[in-house]
Structure 1
Amino acid sequence: MLQKPPTPGFEDLLDSAQQHALHLELRDVYAVGEEREVFEAFLRDGSVPADDSEFWSGWLPLVERTVARGVKVLRARVVSEPVTDYIRFEHAITDANVRAGEQVRWLSRRRASTFALPGNDFWLIDDRIVRWNIFSGDGQALEPDHTDDPSAVKLCAEAFRAVWDLATEHADYRI
């Protein structure tokens, strides 16, 4: 039996993108370890990390160089309303994503009831490979997975575009 190859590293996937990297987020709470201190500071006093902080050191330069190559980096978030504290945090830090070149939109979960969404967050690279971001029930990041199965790629492409078309631009979304 053939063993499935390991999931490509995220930086390698983004570096391989030629047209677009589409990210759909579906959870209302994440508990990603490297965000803990920044999230707790936000809850205490509303502070957000500066663009040149250690928090952003890996992500923002990767987005900037990807966008500089002409690749569109689009992120759509489906959120329950009223939003959770974590979504308030994500909204507050998203200006940094936008300054780096990401386009970000928000969609109320209530408006997402009429189309199919996959069971996990994902990145879709050039409509050819899906990287599933897998999380535990309490929001801890688990080992990611990936597929190039045409039916999964199609589901993700259609889901992303359905969300994107209904979603509100970050600058206009009020929490």
Structure 2
Amino acid sequence: MRDAYGLDDDYREWVRGDRFDPAERWPWWIELVRSGVDRGVAVHRARIVSEPVSAYVRYEYELTAGHNLKAGEDVRWLPRRQASDIALPGNDFWLFDGTTVLFNHFAGDGTMTGEEAVTDPAVVRLCRDAFVAVWGRAVAHGAYRPS
């Protein structure tokens, strides 16, 4: 849900115009997701973005096909202005099997500061409902064109 995350060496390389194959850079992620998908696990990622998109979001967009989709994720994009009436959690999260939420915590500069696993049914329900609402409005990666 952020417009930028930690501006690491990979991002700085991309900004300089040095393109790389994300499958070669992060094979562990592709293997992790692919092994789950091969077992029948659905991996959905929704990205809520401001438009026009930031340079970081453009970087994410360009890497999605060779990284996330190649691994087997289904990725959708929702312009932030279309999410104004959705109750969203204050942090990025992963929802596992509808029973556990893993929140990712970030500093103001986008550096990840920690994670927090939560199993409280009310929190899980909030996150599930938010994700379902976002997913229903979001555009599939192949159809989304960042402005």
The 8 Å contact of residues 107 and 168 in structure 1, kept in 2 or not, is answered as: yes
Name the counterpart of 2:21.
49
| Contact 1:121/1:132 (8 A) holds in 2 | yes
Which residue matches 2:40?
70
- SS of match in other structure, 1:165: helix
Identity of paired residues, percent? 46
Instruction: Name the structure 2 match of 1:3.
Output: none
Question: For the aligned residues, what is the CA RMSD?
Answer: 1.1
Q: CA deviation at 1:44?
A: 1.1
- Which of 1, 5, 11 lines up with 1:39 in the alignment? 11
- In the TM superposition, structure 1's runs of 4+ consecutive aligned residues that sit over 6 Å from their partners are none
CA contact (8 A) 1:104 1:169 kept: yes
Provide the C-alpha distance between the structure 1 equivalents of 2:18 and 2:125, rounded to a whole number of angstroms. 39
C-alpha deviation, 1:37, in angstroms = 1.9
Deviation at 1:57, TM superposition (A): 2.3
1:48/1:92 contact within 8 Å kept: no
Aligned match of 2:53: 83
Letter in structure 1 aligned against 2:44: L
Decide which moves more: 157-166 or 38-47: 38-47
How high is the TM-score relative to the length of structure 1? 0.80
Distance 2:137 2:22 in 1: 30
Identify unmatched segments of 5+ residues in structure 2.
none
Alpha-carbon contact 1:124-1:157 (below 8 Å) kept: yes
Q: Which runs of 5+ in 1 are unaligned?
A: 1-25
Q: Shift of the alpha carbon at 1:49?
A: 2.6
